[in-house]
Amino acid sequence: MTSPRQLLSVNVAQARHLTIDGRQILTAIDKQPVSTLETPTRIAVAALGLAGDEQADPTVHGGPSKAVYAYPHEHYAFWQTVLAQAGKAGWGDAAKHGLLGENLTITGLLETDAYIGDVLRFPDCALAVSEPRQPCYKLEDKLFRQASKMMVQSAFCGFYLAVRQGGTIAAGEAYEIEPGPREVSIRDLFRDRMSRRKNV
């Protein structure tokens, strides 16, 4: 049985310096919920992303084609398990939305069923699937050392969204899918890119 297509949480962060491997790194991966099912505050959506959100490195995150990052909540059970196995039991207990650095924690759309060009239509905005997220060392610093490897193996990468129609968005809203060309799924593109990166 598939999950309903719903937005569970909107998560944002300002870029800040963290010490990673002994060096200062500017990052905004530590997203915090600002609109939840309990408090469904409306958040503005513009061409470059959500109000109150920043991307630290625009060469890999952000910009018109990667304005918003969505992640399926269905994968949270997987991450709770591997975090516990890595000795990060506290994460498993908390598992607050934004865990993977995502802006939108959603249900009802996995990487296997999300295709480049599909549009997620919310009541007051529309967001187009643009490309998969690629894991980086910042994810490993936030979670655990093998987090990137686990994301590659599982292909639980989530996906970036371009803003087709700005407006506002709030947790609790349902969304509909307007199919695009349906030629390349997020999972297939992610696996192709990871294979190419491995062979470089």
Name the pairing type of β-strands 68-72 and 104-107: parallel
111-147 burial code (b ≥16 CB/10 A, e <16): beebbbbbbbbbeebbbbbbbbbbbbebbbbbbbeeb
Q: What is the pLDDT of residue 11?
A: 98
Res. 20: pLDDT tops 70? no
Taking the CA atoms of residue 15, residue 82, residue 106 and residue 2 in that order, the dihedral angle to the nearest 10 degrees is: 170
Look at residue 149 in the predicted model and tell me its pLDDT.
92
| Rounded mean pLDDT, 36-62 | 90
CA atoms within 13 A on the CB side of 35: 25
Q: What is the DSSP string of 74-110?
A: GGHHHHHHHHHHTT-HHHHHH--TTTTS-SEEEES--
Average of per-residue pLDDT across 80-88: 85
Model pLDDT, residue 189: 97
Q: What is the spatial distance between Cα 168 and Cα 185, in angstroms, rounded to a whole number?
A: 27
Backbone angles phi, psi at 32, to 5 degrees: -120, 140
Output the pLDDT for position 12.
Answer: 97
Look at residue 95 and tell me whether its pLDDT is greater than 70: no
pLDDT for position 61:
74
How do residues 155-177 score in pLDDT, each as one tens digit? Answer: 999 999 999 999 999 999 999 99
pLDDT at position 120 over 50: yes
Could you identify the residue written with the tokens 């996995």? Answer: 110
- pTM for the whole thing? 0.93
Tell whether the model's pLDDT for residue 198 goes beyond 80: no
142: confidence class by pLDDT, cuts 50, 70, 90: confident
The full length of the chain comes to 200
pLDDT band at 200 (very low <50, low <70, confident <90, very high): very low
In this model, does residue 192 exceed pLDDT 50? yes
User: Which pLDDT value is given to residue 111?
Assistant: 98
Please state, in angstroms and as integers, the Cα–Cα distance from residue 28 to each residue in 4, 16, 33, 54, following that order: 29, 6, 13, 6
3-state secondary structure (DSSP) of residue 67: coil
Q: Reply yes or no on whether the pLDDT at 42 is more than 50.
A: yes
Could you report the per-residue pLDDT of 65-80, keeping only the tens digit for each?
A: 999 999 999 999 999 8
CA angle 162, 12, 112 (to 5 degrees): 45
